[in-house]
């Protein structure tokens, strides 16, 4: 595999070819000695040992600190007033936190009969680009005549993501895709799009509206997509609440990510984590809005400076009208004051005691405004 990757042809050495280099019509011919020395030098970069297994690792397309795009993709099924309010919400965030890794805004409307192009809006800064994006969306809005005719038709959100990646824009890698949707996909197989999202290190923030008029068969597909790409998926009866419960735009970098597969009752302890006390934990506790797998969860911690805390969550808090304005989600929680602000940066030991009526996945996400210098690994 490595020989094919670098187009090497290795020939046996003899008295005339030892450590010599020849160039033929089809490329370079390396002597066995030179080729072997070269491959040995490459081995540390190409091979990584993970859980005792050997895997090949190719260079990343970008680093976490590189400039990237901020995509806002919205479904044609949504009410335009809700879409407009969503754009206004993020406009305030961009003005308040003008410095971030995002350099340009992009927009696209999906769930339309005619597929629309992804538009990258030029500007001198993210703020200028985002203002241009808002003006563009105010002109295009939503188009009922372009909507799907049947409630049985699934969302084309996965195809939209494929087309976004196909743009090969210079700021594609490391980008943030905010997906506002109401129609769910009918697909459950997502391996191909997962591979492509991982390749380009795209972060997904999925805000999905779930009410009696929601179409499509598999909302859990979006939750699973978020789980496998270090993203986050929130279901809510209101788009604004699904957006407000997402990780902040200013928190551009993944600090910690874990998927916990759970069933019944049990206790899980995370590996020790070095954290700042300002860290906020975003918790997805259920892969759909309507199932009743999640019953209750208790988080607790202690750290190396002697502080500790605990927080109990239950399914009644997910019912409509029971949550506050910042956590009006039907499948997730934000723990804004879990870590005490007067604590020092420390190593934390977190424990989760859970009770589930059926198997499901807990998403644990922590973001930061400061890069940790490397991409966080994915989980299947």
Sign of CA dihedral 138, 123, 181, 178: negative
CATH hierarchy code of domain 255-368:
2.60.120.380
| Helix (H), strand (E) at residue 29 | strand 27-31
Helices (H) then strands (E): counts for the chain? 8, 18
CA distance 205 to 200: 15
CA distance 375 to 367: 12
| Paired tokens of 232 | 């986050």
pTM of the model: 0.83
* The pLDDT of residue 12: 41
* The pLDDT of residue 320: 60
Domain ranges, ordered by start, for the chain: 2-56, 68-250, 255-368
* The pLDDT of residue 50: 39
* The pLDDT of residue 327: 57
Whose CA is closest to 320, among 331, 309, 310, 312? 331
Whose CA is closest to 209, among 290, 149, 284, 130? 290
CATH 3.30.1510.10 matches 68-250:
no
* The pLDDT of residue 353: 98
| Paired tokens of 3 | 């020989």
Task: Provide the 3-class DSSP secondary structure of residue 267.
Answer: strand
CA distance 222 to 234: 9
CA distance 88 to 190: 32
CA distance 96 to 322: 29
* The pLDDT of residue 147: 95
* The pLDDT of residue 58: 63
* The pLDDT of residue 285: 95
Residues facing 98 on adjacent strands: none
Distances (CA, A) of 171 to 136, 137, 158, 177: 20, 21, 20, 12
Q: End-to-end distance of the chain based on CA atoms, in angstroms?
A: 25
Q: What is the mean pLDDT of the chain?
A: 84
Burial label for 206, CB within 10 Å (0-12, 13-18, 19+), is buried
Per-residue pLDDT of the chain (380 residues), as tens digits, is 333 333 333 334 344 444 444 333 334 344 445 545 444 444 444 444 433 444 455 689 999 999 999 999 999 999 999 999 999 999 988 887 666 789 999 999 999 999 999 999 999 899 999 999 999 999 999 999 999 999 999 999 999 999 999 999 999 999 999 999 999 999 999 999 999 999 999 999 999 999 888 899 999 999 999 999 999 999 999 999 999 889 888 888 888 999 999 999 999 999 999 987 778 899 999 999 887 899 999 999 999 999 999 999 999 888 665 544 445 689 999 887 888 777 788 899 999 999 999 999 999 999 888 888 899 999 98
């Amino acid at each position: 595999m490595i020989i094919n990757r670098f187009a090497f042809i290795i020939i046996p050495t003899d008295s005339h070819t030892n450590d010599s280099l020849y160039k033929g019509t089809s490329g370079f011919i390396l002597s066995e000695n030179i080729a072997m020395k070269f491959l040995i030098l490459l081995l540390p970069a190409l091979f990584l040992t993970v859980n005792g297994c050997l895997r090949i690792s190719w260079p990343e397309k970008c680093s976490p600190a590189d400039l990237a795009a901020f995509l806002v993709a919205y479904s044609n099924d949504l009410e335009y007033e809700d879409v407009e309010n969503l754009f206004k919400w993020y406009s305030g965030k961009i003005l308040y936190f003008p410095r971030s890794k995002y350099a340009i805004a992009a927009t696209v409307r999906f769930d339309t009969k005619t597929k629309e192009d992804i538009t990258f809006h030029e500007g001198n800064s993210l703020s200028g680009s985002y203002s241009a994006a808002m003006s563009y969306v105010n002109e295009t809005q939503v188009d009922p005549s372009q909507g799907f005719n049947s409630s049985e038709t699934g969302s084309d959100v996965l195809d939209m993501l494929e087309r976004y990646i196909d743009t090969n824009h210079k700021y594609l890698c490391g980008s943030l895709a905010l997906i506002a949707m109401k129609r769910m996909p009918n697909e459950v197989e997502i391996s191909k799009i997962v591979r492509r999202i991982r390749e380009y290190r795209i972060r997904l923030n999925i805000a999905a509206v779930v009410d009696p008029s929601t179409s499509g068969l598999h909302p859990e597909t979006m939750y699973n997509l978020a789980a496998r790409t270090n993203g986050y998926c929130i279901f809510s009866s209101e788009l604004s609440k699904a957006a407000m419960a997402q990780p902040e735009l200013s928190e551009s970098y993944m600090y910690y990510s874990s998927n916990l597969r759970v069933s019944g009752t049990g206790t899980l302890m995370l590996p020790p984590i070095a954290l700042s006390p300002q860290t906020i934990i975003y918790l997805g506790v259920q892969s759909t809005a309507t199932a009743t797998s999640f019953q209750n969860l208790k988080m607790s911690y202690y750290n190396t400076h002697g502080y500790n805390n605990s927080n109990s969550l239950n399914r009644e808090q997910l019912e409509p009208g029971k949550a506050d304005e910042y956590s009006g989600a039907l499948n997730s929680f934000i723990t804004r004051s879990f870590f005490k602000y007067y604590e020092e940066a420390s190593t934390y030991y977190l424990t989760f005691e859970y009770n589930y009526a059926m198997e499901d996945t807990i998403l644990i996400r922590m973001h930061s405004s400061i890069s940790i210098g490397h991409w966080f690994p994915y989980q299947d």
